[in-house]
Amino acid sequence: MSDALQKARDYEAAHLPEIPAAVLPVYHVTGGVGWINDPNGFSRYQGEYHLFYQYHPYSKQWGPMHWGHVKSKDLIRWERLPAAMAPDTEADRDGCFSGSAIELEDGRHALIYTGVRKFSDTDEVQTQCLAFGDGVNYEKYEGNPVIDGSLLPEGGSRRDFRDPKIWREGDSFFAVAGDRAADGTGTILLFESKDLIHWEFRSVVAASKGRYGRMWECPDLFRLDGNHVLITSPQEMVESGLDFIEGNSTLCLIGTLNPYTLALSEEWLQTIDYGLDFYAPQTMLTEDGRRVMIGWMQYWGSVDAAPEELPFFGQMTVPRELRVKNGRLIQNPVRELERYRRNRKRMECELITDETSLPGISGRCLDLTLTLRGDYRSFRLCAVKDSEHETVIRYDRKWSTITVDRLKSGFAPEIRNVRSFRVQERGGLLKLRLLLDRYSLELFVNDGEQAASFTVYTPQSAGDITFAAEGTAVLDVDFYELEVSEDGKAL
Ligand code: FRU
């Protein structure tokens, strides 16, 4: 093992045991110590789910990128494993950037990732590299890199060439990676290999051409419900309508991959998540064929705003099952979460007017579904609330919008704290499912038609939930506490 990886593992061994479970999220992955960003290598290996992530163990700031590592049997309870990679070879000496993983027929777990080499502040080269391992320890391939700038189409960028996502089809491996075209805007490139070592460029799957941000990071391409789906995370997005958030945003293109040109037709296009904290999602297939996505629950624009006292920075979303229906991406929390539901409370036809709480409906780690109907103009749910704090979810019927306002949720007012998005009632009903954990709130509208993720850093004692309406809303409530481990130990 290299000195750099040994140092990271020693650091983890010295510091992780000191971190009380009570300061970590209960069912959302963090690094435990240090900084994390993008999910990487989300894959099934030897019957378990593995998740790696961009990781700087030594501080709560982004730094030379390592890969941290956790695994799980059910995508909810995660076991921490030692850091998997450190920047320690010539090809990745300045960082092991994002990438993906695949189980090989010979029993090895292969990681494909971006190796970064910097020559000056403005001169940097990114190439795609391999490592092979057994689910705990990984060896970098000595012939790295395996995909370098020589394979790029004309005008491609050697500097912004990253985040390979791998899959197998027939007797070939395929990988998509983000790059910049000659005009400086994002392209998604497809490569093919028979042996993981020798790769060929196959096609430009999609290109920004100046629309939807510039560089497109962290692509993933998969088949779902008879469509091809490309997800990617554009940088420098310009806010347009209520769909795309400014800066680092997310984009989903749904269409068909032309079998001859291997370019994606863009039939439908949307943002992936309507919250303030969601980036760089990646997917994998479960054993029973579900396409599951996990994202970094964070906005690059507010990385300096998290509270000082926490030992970690950055968390993942809950893993979400994906479907495509009527040209839209549908996302719902993985069904495994339901095993951790406790203390159900159901209420039907509660009439909501002035602000009120409902008996037993409170807490910070919960799964709450509301069905709304009746004669009302707007409805307001306040959660993670005490006398000074709250996160407000407001539905305005006239405008068909939901607005989430976390101005009083533990953040400084200077960062972006409010986001609105459009929703549609179904037969006069609106269904909202809210997942809370110690530092997050994820909202799913109408059985996954929209998802919206937010970090919140309200004190843990702020567990009140209230409801209010203009007019009279008729509310059905289905409430559960989430209890993730019997011994009360969170990851
Ligand atoms: C996206 C990203 C990736 C890159 C990684 C570096 O958040 O910029 O493109 O591989 O983060 O940490």
Same domain, 267 and 359: no
Same domain, 176 and 275: yes
Indicate if the pLDDT at residue 200 is higher than 60: yes
Give the tens place of pLDDT for each residue, 115-165: 999 999 889 999 999 999 999 999 999 999 999 999 999 999 999 999 999
Same domain, 188 and 254: yes
Whole-number mean pLDDT of the chain? Answer: 96
Q: Which position among 3, 10, 38, 183 bears the catalytic label?
A: 38
Task: State residue 413's pLDDT score.
Answer: 85
Give the tens place of pLDDT for each residue, 234-267: 999 998 889 999 999 999 999 999 999 999 999 9
Residue that terminates a domain, selected from 308, 331, 354: 331
| Torsion sign across C-alpha atoms 100, 103, 104, 109 | positive
Arithmetic mean of pLDDT, 485-491? 54
User: What value, to the nearest 5°, has the Cα angle with vertex 432 and ends 430 and 434?
Assistant: 175
38 is an active site residue: yes
Same domain, 270 and 413: no
Give the tens place of pLDDT for each residue, 21-65: 999 999 999 999 999 999 999 999 999 999 999 999 999 999 999
Task: Tell me if 366 sits within 8 A of 481, measured CB to CB.
Answer: yes
Q: Which of 61, 97, 300 to mutate for ligand 1's pocket (most ligand atoms within 8 Å of CB)? A: 97
Indicate if the pLDDT at residue 18 is higher than 70: yes
Q: Which of 35, 36, 37 to mutate for ligand 1's pocket (most ligand atoms within 8 Å of CB)? A: 37
Verdict on whether the full-model pTM lies above 0.75: yes
Whether 491 is in a domain gets the answer no
Same domain, 68 and 117: yes
Q: Which residues are 200's β-sheet partners?
A: 192
Residue that terminates a domain, selected from 302, 331, 360: 331
CATH, residue 225: 2.115.10.20
Whether 487 is in a domain gets the answer no
Whether 490 is in a domain gets the answer no
Residue that terminates a domain, selected from 331, 360, 391: 331
Task: State residue 307's pLDDT score.
Answer: 87
CATH, residue 412: 2.60.120.560
Residue 95 structural domain: 3-331
Same domain, 288 and 434: no
- As a whole number of Å, the CA-based R_g of the chain is 22
Same domain, 121 and 157: yes
Q: How many whole angstroms from its chain centre is CA 470?
A: 35
Same domain, 130 and 258: yes
Evaluate: CB of 98 within 6 angstroms of ligand 1: yes
Total number of domains constituting the chain: 2
Give the tens place of pLDDT for each residue, 379-417: 999 999 999 999 999 999 999 999 999 999 998 888 999
